Amino acid sequence: MKPLVVVGDTILDVDIEGAADRLSPEAPVPVVDVQRQWVRPGGAGLAAALAARSVTEVSLVTATADDRDGRTLAGLLDRDVQVVPMLLRGETVRKTRIRAAGQSLLRLDTGDGTADGGSVSASVTEILRAAGAILVADYGRGVAAHPEIRRLLTELARSVPVVWDPHPRGPAPTPGASLVSPNLKEARQFAPGYVEPDELAKVLRDEWAADSVAVTTGAGGAVLANGKRLTVVPVPAEVRIAGHVRSDTCGAGDRFASAATAALFDGSTVADAVSHAVDAAARFVAAGGAATLSTCDSTAAAQVGQERRSAFEVAAAIRARGGRLVATGGCFDLLHPGHVSLLRQARAMGDALVVCLNSDASVRRLKGPRRPIVTAGDRARLLTALSSVDAVVEFDESTPSALLERLRPDVWVKGGDYSGAHLPEAEVVRGYGGEIALIPMVPGYSTSQLVAAAEGRG
């Protein structure tokens, strides 16, 4: 089978998470007590990891260096992607976000690496010529500007779908691309003097000699100039993000471009590919964005002296500093994007999130003798690997009422398929002065649906 090939600049993305509840005595800036560090592929690496969600075989042509961050990136990518390396001059680029209470406080960019302009290896040429579709994820670090790469892309665009996700610091897309996908801010930089998405899409399609241009507009979806047709592609009505939570849109453009490329790879028209990509990007943001691909960096955690604490230790520490403790509960059997979305939104409501997890016996009583599919120990390990979860505590009863009486979170969160009036534990929570919050669910995701689909009943 032909691979989907991603071409572009790879970055190491790092999220350092902690608590910020005081100001520095030296200057009016927050002091962040570091709790955990998370790493994931960024740039073209993120686009390739996302493409691997849709396509069996994904290859990544990117410039790499044998430094510490480069080795970390290689380890992250090796799980899902075949890396075909070019030479990187300088150090691996790293973007570090300092975050507290679900919000970014600062970003630090390090590394000066750019792709070497010399000849590419035979492996690079071979993998590009073998591609079933190509995504150029340009991050302005030289891979998309390489003369040999550009010559090959121009040639291959005649027979293979090429999607180009451009960058203001990078070169113009090569002629003949099936789809170019700037966001609205980028499009305005590429075409000064034009403001509206529809005029930007038409002007850039002609300027870049592309078959189609889709200007993405965030919550508005995208505007597609496809030949002489102009189409507004909205976010599907059923995809909703809770209005009171500020969503992390990091990686939305990569999700759009990777989903569009995968759809073209499977034979879709450009119009259908863009519609699919708008839906996929919206669901990706609703489910937590790029952070859902993060891995806890255990080395970094050890360096800052952090060990996993029990739910009650977390609760005590939060109360000692006057913080806000959030808790949620459920079976969390077959962890899916709907779960991840709920957990991230719940975590954003306070300073720590504890998950109250139904034991295996409790799940069987609620769901039947064939459940759970994943044991409580493994479900707890999966949950604690998420950046949004600070601790997990298991309970054996059918409801978490007794546990909540001991834990006493400030906010008890449940999915929007419940109502506060019908929660058995509502009386306990309100009795000690707690608050109940309902978060809308991501449509189309439930463990029961996944099980039914796997058994051919969906």
**Catalytic site residues?**
254
What is the 3-state secondary structure of the chain?
A: CCCEEEEECEEEEEEEEEEEEEECCCCCCEEEEEEEEEEEEEEHHHHHHHHCCCCCCEEEEEEECCCHHHHHHHHHHCCCCEEEEEEEECCCCEEEEEEECCEEEEEEEECCCEECCCCCCHHHHHHHHCCCEEEEECCCCCCCCCHHHHHHHHHHCCCCCEEEECCCCCCCCCCCCCEECCEHHHHHHHCCCCCCHHHHHHHHHHHHCCCEEEEECHHHCEEEEECCEEEEECCCCCCCCCCCCCCCCCCHHHHHHHHHHHHHHCCCCHHHHHHHHHHHHHHHHHCCHHHHHCEECHHHHHHCCCCCCCHHHHHHHHHHCCCCEEEEEECCCCCCHHHHHHHHHHHCCCCEEEEEEECHHHHHHHHCCCCCCCCHHHHHHHHHCCCCCCEEEEECCCCCHHHHHHHCCCEEEEECCCCHHHCCCHHHHHHCCCEEEEECCCCCCCHHHHHHHHCCCC
